Amino acid sequence: MVIGRRTNVRWSNSQSYLPEKVTETAKTRGRLYMFSAVDYFIMSAGSYPWHRVPADVVVARRGYDNFLVLMAIRDNVSVIDATKTLLAVHQTDFEGNLAGLHGKDVNYNMRHLGKFDFRKGMTLSALYETKFADSSNSSIVVARREQHKSEQRGGKISVQNVNISALTTTTDKELNTGH
C-alpha cells in the first residue's frame, strides 16, 4: 500500500491554471499539509483487508485515512510513504483545508470506526518510504524508514533499498521478508 501527504496551494478563480506549471507552483507556493493526514492510497487488488473496514464509513471524512493505514499495518500489509517523491497537489480555496470539519456529521466516521489510536495510522507509521536515489531525481528507491529515536531499541537500524520498478511484481510478503 503506497500512501502520502498532499501539498496545498492556495488558489483563487482569478488565477490561471497552467498544467505545465503545477510542479513549479507547488514548490514555490505550496505547503505540505498536516502530518496526521493521509491523502492518497495506492494498493494492488486483493492486498488490502477490506473486511476490517465498516461498510458505512465515508471516504474523506475524519478518521478514514488513519484507520485504513492502521488496518493495513495490523494485517502485515507493506505500507510505503511516498510523500518525498510523489507530488500530490491540492488546490485550496477560500474555505481552507478544514471546511470538512464543520457541520453536523463531522464525527460520523469516528462513531462508526470505534476507538482507535489514529497516530498509529499516520504516514510516519509506514515501515517504508520512497526516496530519490540521487540528485537527478530520476530514480526512486524504497527504503526501510529509520525509526525515530523514541522508537529505537538497541542499536542502529539498517536501511534496505528496493528497486521501485520491482514493486509491481513484488508481493507484500516478499517486501516484508526481503525474499
> Does residue 166 register a pLDDT over 90?
no
> How would you classify residue 95: left for phi > 0, otherwise alpha for psi between -120 and 50, otherwise beta?
alpha
pLDDT in tens, 45-70: 888 999 888 888 888 788 889 999 99
Residue 7: Cβ within 10 Å count: 22
pLDDT at 62 (0 to 100): 83
Q: How far apart are CA 17 and CA 25, in angstroms?
A: 10
Q: Report how many domains make up the chain.
A: 1
Confidence of residue 87 (pLDDT cuts 50, 70, 90): very high
Q: Which of 27-36, 87-96, 126-135, 148-157 bottoms out in mean pLDDT, i.e. has the lowest?
A: 148-157
**Residue 2 contacts residue 41 (beta carbons within 8 Å):** yes
Domain that holds residue 12: 2-177
Beta-bridge partner residues of 163: 141
Grid coordinates standing for 81?
510513504
